[in-house]
Amino acid sequence: MSTPLKVGAVIITMGNRPDELRALLDSVAKQDGDRIEVVVVGQGAPVPEVPAGVRIVELPENLGIPGGRNVGIEAFGPSGADVDVLLFLDDDGLLPNNDTAELCRQAFAADQKLGIISFRIADPDTGVTQRRHVPRLRASDPMRSSRVTTFLGGANAVRTQVIAEVGGLPDEFFYAHEETDLAWRALDAGWMIDYRADMVLHHPTTAPSRHAVYHRMVARNRVWLARRNLPAPLVPVYLGIWMLLTLVRRPSGPALKAWFGGFKEGWSTPCGPRRPMKWRTVWRLTKLGRPPVV
């Protein structure tokens, strides 16, 4: 029999949710199968008390979501090479089922081209999965698993071979769209992404706009995402469609002002290396139900 895949977990925290963090760590420790090694990264804040055996890395400043997770990856060796799979979990989430890590091992072992798994996020009180937490356009049935073109940042599992091949999350994004950037690079390299409804993370229902920088960074990073990854003819199409969608949603005046400020910033500031995806990847994304123009 083959050796079970080694699984690690990366959790970033601002240190302000000690009870939720402890509950999450307890749920990781209860997972079936081999022990999961955990690294908790403090984003410019001390890490609350954690159980014995949990490693901590305390950063002098908040590097943002992708930057903090990249530090956690490297804590497992270059590109996470000390393990086969890394779980990325929000510090206020919780794994309600004990078989989630084992399901991940089985899924990755059974499909050598599977690179990323996106978990289903459900409210712990109502069991409801928000539409925005289903990473596909046809999101009316969150209980349907499927191939997808992106994944959820705080509830996922990534094969570390993917990170070694295409790189980690884009540090400069700080917050928003960093998952799609990695997803597009992974898909362009031939990897697949699955949304699994049976792999659940409990997380309180929240609105992404609770973050003060939400509208600016969503717009800025949308431009960076296109500039970095799309073939040149698709860049204006993708961004034009998203501008129209934003206007149709009728955000408040201050939100719209912040959005257009971020959109301008996305064009006027460096976005990192440009590696446009192949046209056959555009076709793969289209066949998967989400062409890279929306």
Is the pLDDT higher at 213 or at 69? 69
Mean pLDDT of the chain: 96
150 contacts 135 by C-beta, under 8 angstroms = yes
pLDDT of residue 207: 73
pLDDT confidence of residue 213: 84
pLDDT band at 243 (very low <50, low <70, confident <90, very high): very high
Question: In the predicted model, what is the mean pLDDT of residues 280-293?
Answer: 96
Quick: pLDDT tens for 84-139.
999 999 999 999 999 999 999 999 999 999 999 999 999 999 999 999 999 999 89
| Lowest-confidence pick of 147-156, 212-221, 239-248, 283-292 | 212-221
- Residues 181-233 have pLDDT tens digits of 999 999 999 999 999 999 999 999 877 755 558 999 999 999 999 999 999 99
Name residues whose C-beta falls within 8 Å of residue 251's C-beta, 6 or more positions apart in sequence.
Answer: 215, 259
Q: What is the pLDDT of residue 289?
A: 93
Residue 214 corresponds to which tokens in the numbers above?
């939400």
104: closest CA among 123, 125, 126, 89? 89
* DSSP 8-state code for residue 93: -
**Which residues does 127 contact at the CB level (< 8 Å), separation at least 6?**
none
Rg (CA), the chain: 18
DSSP summary character for residue 94: B
* pLDDT reading at 242 higher than 90: yes
User: What's the predicted TM-score (pTM) here?
Assistant: 0.96
Residue 18: the pLDDT is: 98
Res. 19: pLDDT tops 70: yes
Say what the pLDDT of residue 2 is. 75
Mean pLDDT within 21-44: 98
What is the predicted pLDDT for the residue at 82? 98
